[in-house]
């Protein structure tokens, strides 16, 4: 019997791409699960149908909000969580780094897709002497000061392409972006701009960076979790534990990345 699932997502180009990746991955895992049970060769169309529910979050609506302030936790997830709690959606797809440590009662992180690389990429105008960098992230500012000790800061909001256009237009000399987002949008170059990828120790990424998270109602975790990537779950949950122990959050410069037995912290 065909099962219908509703997937809550933000409306941005990157969010919709990540939801597309999540749905494709989940369908492939459901096919494997059904074949293990029934043995016949089944197509994805015989397993389930996923429908997206695009939503606008407060963080998307209000570009004036200072993202580094602790009272603004959950800016990009709350509306999706409300859809889960109301029963309007079965799962929600998030960038793992956007999810607050404390979740609403009745909701859990089911797990994560296999992780994309978590590195940070410096995007700068070709030939520029980098004197101004645009980012609102306290974590990024704190670490970039080690490399550019005399830099001046500019505020930066907007989606990835908006940020690239701002740097190309001269708003600032450079910005720092997640490699995973660039790769998912197929961006490896931009007119007038150059890209420099940092190692995970040069710039420690945000907790959960590079991972796509699946959130669901707690009662549904036993269904979804076995479909998702166990190694990514262990790594990101360890990072979230470290963040909780540090009393950090979106208003903190704390950074951590777990790679097997290796733990990198800033």
The catalytic residue among 90, 98, 173, 229 is 98
136 catalytic per annotation: no
Strand 120-125 and strand 91-95: the pairing is unpaired
Alpha-carbon span 160 to 124, nearest angstrom: 14
Q: Which residues contact 183 (CB under 8 A, 6 or more apart)?
A: 116, 117
Nearest in space to 21 (alpha carbons), one of 62, 60, 64, 52: 52
Residue 154 parent element (H or E): strand 152-154
Q: Parallel, antiparallel, or unpaired: how do β-strands 48-55 and 256-259 relate? A: unpaired
Q: Annotate 185-199 with b (16+ C-beta within 10 A) or e (fewer).
A: eebeebeebebeebe
Q: Which residues are catalytic?
A: 98
């Amino acid at each position: 019997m065909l099962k219908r699932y509703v997937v809550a997502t933000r409306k941005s180009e990157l969010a919709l791409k990540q939801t597309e990746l999540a749905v494709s991955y989940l369908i492939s895992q459901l096919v494997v699960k059904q074949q293990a049970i029934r043995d016949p060769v089944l197509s994805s169309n015989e397993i389930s149908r996923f429908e997206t529910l695009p939503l606008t979050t407060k963080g998307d609506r209000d570009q004036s909000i200072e993202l580094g302030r602790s009272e603004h936790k959950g800016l990009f997830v709350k509306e999706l969580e409300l859809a889960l709690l109301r029963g309007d959606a079965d799962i929600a797809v998030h960038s793992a780094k956007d999810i607050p440590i404390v979740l609403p009662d009745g909701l859990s992180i089911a797990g994560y897709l296999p992780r994309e690389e978590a590195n940070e990429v410096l995007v700068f105008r070709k030939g520029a002497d980098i004197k101004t960098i645009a980012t609102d992230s306290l974590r990024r500012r704190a670490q970039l000061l080690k490399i550019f000790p005399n830099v001046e800061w500019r505020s930066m909001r907007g989606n990835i392409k908006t940020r690239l256009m701002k740097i190309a237009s001269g708003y600032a000399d450079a910005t720092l972006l997640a490699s995973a987002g660039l790769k998912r949008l197929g961006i490896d170059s931009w007119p007038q701009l150059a890209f420099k990828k940092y190692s995970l120790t040069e710039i420690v990424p945000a907790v959960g960076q590079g991972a796509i998270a699946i959130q669901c109602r707690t009662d549904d975790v036993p269904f979804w979790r076995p479909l998702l990537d166990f190694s990514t779950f262990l790594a990101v949950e360890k990072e979230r534990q470290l963040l909780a122990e540090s009393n950090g959050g979106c208003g903190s410069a704390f950074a951590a990345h777990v790679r097997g037995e290796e733990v990198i912290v800033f």
